[in-house]
Structure 1
């Protein structure tokens, strides 16, 4: 009996040990999974509105002062050939958040595609969509499903409420393209209540963003920081105005009011970086910085780049850009690799270790190998498609294709040092060598027809493959000169 009892007890102990061992393995596996989630990098995408290629110190400006951005850029990799995938805000943002060219989602411009006088438009342009469709899976939706807490902060512009597209928190985002006023009342941003009668909107957006960072301290987060600044209306940060009114102009940059907005935005981003350092979050945070399109040519110049926002010359699409990730991206590095904000979707997913959604078409490539110095990106064409009209900002603007429009319907391609723009109205072609002619002053289409035909063939094949709409219907109200 004693032996039987001892045997039973021994068997019981073995059974209990096996259960405990099994539970221990499960617990360790659970803890390991949780730890994996915990060390998953935070991701911040900073998308400034209408900031030109040279509107920051790290891109060479000696007029605008951006010390915090300059320091952060110097700690990461600066891209000198970074592009917005469209030349104005709504399509650029839709492209970036969806990872797709505009012909896939239908947002080609802001508002109507029939802008400018009807009598000067030869073609009926492609109809424009104002809202991103709900079935288009955006970056925050993928990250939220993967366990990230997600926050949109500032300008959204793709529908009425970013929380319908994967954001847990929305700070001031709606369908508005600009706030109406940076001083109270914030006309088009009624969801934000100012703490005082003269509280600047950019500061309040950052106040709320810092509150989010405090709340998200213990779990990985995705922050889309997209301030309304530095979009119009151009309204001064009063405490900085005197400083810039007495400052010498540089390279066509001399707008003191706009300069106060640029510096104040830099200050707010500096507050965010200080908060991340203080909490210990910065060391595990991946940051991408870019502008949604070129600078407003009436307000700021990007010389030697030609033109500005709304045009498909370099001044309208080339943007200031850098990436930061402590310990992963070598500080003080620069890349001349041509990239697009279309590349951000696959890059962010790779950084997060998250798979692409099934059946989701992405038109960019991950730039993570470039950022981490693992490999160079293979040469590839970059494309733009704009089957719409966009009226000129400035009377008799000599920087655009004609003085009436920043954009007439057409497409563009950059391949290596070469760039071609095709306009649909009369099949006008412009060909530039950006290495020799960054200012796009010399059209080489006639003198180098072989290169023009090569790029045009690429462009036409791309349009066919992506079902890009090309307007052909003539406008009966058009009056030929």
Structure 2
């Protein structure tokens, strides 16, 4: 074969290959659903109208809930911001990405910590595969608008567009109004951050309406500092609250968030994209209990009782899934494998979550056990208000398993075990470990097997600064300490 004939055949082959790839890409773009993932910061499970609140006003989300599958027993992958987001974005337990908490891992007075916490990563590993990279690999345009918190630059993890995302975990003092502390320029003095992020998301939506897109909208709101629009704060100051919900500034922030979700969804409809777009709404962890109680759930952000990890979750795909309420326990770890199925990806992935897409289509689904691992310390917010295991920490190092309606907590400092039946006791007020020792042992064995299989680090290094006398007196003093009014 002459060199010219060889080159001619190669050019013909490459032309056919390019046409085939281009045809596949066009077909994929025309059939692949868009995905909008809205992740609110520190929004509690009970802090929405459709979840039972009579004080917070969320008409747009209430409407969305009527069009969605409502998951009443959805869980964050962790009880605070960074590890929850890291696991949602990767579909992996913290044992893979290394983020167990917002640094430092040893928090609270060192004289009250019996152990040294496990090492904790501040950023996602460069080599880990994220939702951003997954969608980008499938021909999607990808954009993040808001809080990233798991590295300095989301563009290094598959996002084409980044507005406002870096390592920051909150918008900073006075940061909800421009000029901003987060990396967003604004020529409008007094512009509200939640409005601006939605403006940017809508602009991205319009620019990419003709091709598949992944729009990740992790609002900074309703994370502290609590700052609402003055006119909305004044509105809620005139409305009677109740023992659970009565914070006018927090209520104003929730209403602004709801208004902006409504703006975004209105644009989806205006572009005739409702049937082509999967919409997911959730929160990164439970609400701060001193701000907004999650009764009947116990505790709040930073705790592995239900109030710290159970979160709202809505999924809408107009024309493809029917609206309903589901009591199936699912985790945000499950979103990655579920989206993998919903966009009909053939890429093989190693994920820790479970695909719950059968729940969306009404098919049979085998409920899976859920696990959490937190080899770290989180100090108390307001000791008498937190509803923690003790008054000094929202949580101490341990692990948790939920299996069916049973939930078991294991604590590493003292080998403590707590067993609850969530259907009968969602408040986790009656420890049944002594009453049902066989069930406790069964779940503990499952939990320990999972720890071993995932190489979960179990803190064992004794903290030389631990002082049992100091701890005892500190707990006593915390029990008598007068709490500041809300």
TM-score (normalised: structure 1):
0.91
Q: Is the contact made by 1:310 and 1:390 (CA closer than 8 Å) also made in structure 2? A: yes
Within 5 A, what are the aligned runs for 1:451-470?
451-470=439-458
Larger radius of gyration: 1
- Alpha-carbon distance in 2 for matches of 1:70, 1:197: 32
Shift of 1:177: 0.2
31-40 vs 384-393, greater mean Cα deviation: 31-40
The counterpart of 1:282, out of the listed 268, 274, 281, is 274
Shift of 1:246: 1.3
- Alpha-carbon distance in 1 for matches of 2:25, 2:117: 52
- Alpha-carbon distance in 2 for matches of 1:446, 1:420: 12
Q: Is the contact made by 1:346 and 1:356 (CA closer than 8 Å) also made in structure 2? A: no
SS in 2 for 1:44: strand
Shift of 1:28: 10
Shift of 1:260: 0.4
Q: Is the contact made by 1:112 and 1:127 (CA closer than 8 Å) also made in structure 2? A: no
Distance 1:426 1:195, change over 3 A: same
| Cross-structure match for 1:128 | 120
Shift of 1:185: 2.3
Give 4+ residue runs of structure 1 displaced > 3 Å after superposition.
Answer: 26-33, 395-398
- Alpha-carbon distance in 1 for matches of 2:21, 2:179: 53
244-253 vs 176-185, greater mean Cα deviation: 244-253
| Cross-structure match for 2:326 | 335
SS in 1 for 2:468: coil
Shift of 1:103: 1.3
Q: Is the contact made by 1:251 and 1:303 (CA closer than 8 Å) also made in structure 2? A: no
Within 5 A, what are the aligned runs for 1:224-243?
224-243=216-235
- Alpha-carbon distance in 2 for matches of 1:27, 1:89: 45
Matched, 1:371 2:360: yes
| Cross-structure match for 2:472 | none
The counterpart of 2:33, out of the listed 41, 66, 76, is 41
- Alpha-carbon distance in 1 for matches of 2:306, 2:298: 6
Shift of 1:184: 2.0
Shift of 1:450: 0.8
Q: Is the contact made by 1:397 and 1:404 (CA closer than 8 Å) also made in structure 2? A: no
Q: Is the contact made by 1:143 and 1:354 (CA closer than 8 Å) also made in structure 2? A: no
| Cross-structure match for 2:345 | 354
| Cross-structure match for 1:147 | 139
Shift of 1:400: 0.2
- Alpha-carbon distance in 1 for matches of 2:266, 2:385: 43
Matched, 1:195 2:192: no
| Cross-structure match for 1:412 | 400
Compute the RMSD of aligned alpha carbons. Answer: 1.8
- Alpha-carbon distance in 1 for matches of 2:158, 2:381: 35
SS in 2 for 1:271: helix
- Alpha-carbon distance in 1 for matches of 2:22, 2:124: 38
Shift of 1:352: 1.5
Any idea what the Cα deviations from partners look like across 1:288-340, whole Å, max 9, x if unmatched?
11110000112111111000000000000000111000111102x01000000
SS in 2 for 1:435: coil
Distance 1:201 1:33, change over 3 A: closer
Shift of 1:395: 3.2
Shift of 1:153: 0.9
Question: How many pairs align?
Answer: 453
The counterpart of 2:316, out of the listed 319, 324, 328, is 324
The counterpart of 1:448, out of the listed 417, 436, 441, is 436
SS in 2 for 1:152: strand
Matched, 1:75 2:67: yes
31-40 vs 334-343, greater mean Cα deviation: 31-40
Any idea what the Cα deviations from partners look like across 1:188-220, whole Å, max 9, x if unmatched?
x1x312232111111011111111111101110
- Alpha-carbon distance in 1 for matches of 2:148, 2:251: 24
The counterpart of 2:176, out of the listed 182, 197, 200, is 182
Q: Is the contact made by 2:74 and 2:312 (CA closer than 8 Å) also made in structure 1? A: yes
Shift of 1:30: 5.9
Q: Is the contact made by 1:337 and 1:377 (CA closer than 8 Å) also made in structure 2? A: no
TM-score (normalised: structure 2):
0.90
| Cross-structure match for 2:4 | none
Q: Is the contact made by 1:420 and 1:431 (CA closer than 8 Å) also made in structure 2? A: yes
Distance 1:465 1:32, change over 3 A: closer
- Alpha-carbon distance in 1 for matches of 2:230, 2:137: 43
The counterpart of 2:391, out of the listed 376, 396, 403, is 403
Matched, 1:382 2:346: no
Any idea what the Cα deviations from partners look like across 1:352-373, whole Å, max 9, x if unmatched?
222344xx43111111111111
Shift of 1:263: 0.5
- Alpha-carbon distance in 2 for matches of 1:196, 1:471: 50
Shift of 1:380: 1.8
Distance 1:457 1:236, change over 3 A: same
- Alpha-carbon distance in 2 for matches of 1:368, 1:127: 35
Structure 1: segments with no counterpart, 5+ residues: 1-22
- Alpha-carbon distance in 1 for matches of 2:162, 2:131: 15
Q: Is the contact made by 1:53 and 1:318 (CA closer than 8 Å) also made in structure 2? A: yes
- Alpha-carbon distance in 1 for matches of 2:418, 2:177: 43
Distance 1:294 1:398, change over 3 A: closer
SS in 2 for 1:406: strand
SS in 2 for 1:254: coil
Any idea what the Cα deviations from partners look like across 1:118-148, whole Å, max 9, x if unmatched?
0000001101100000100101101101100
| Cross-structure match for 1:246 | 238
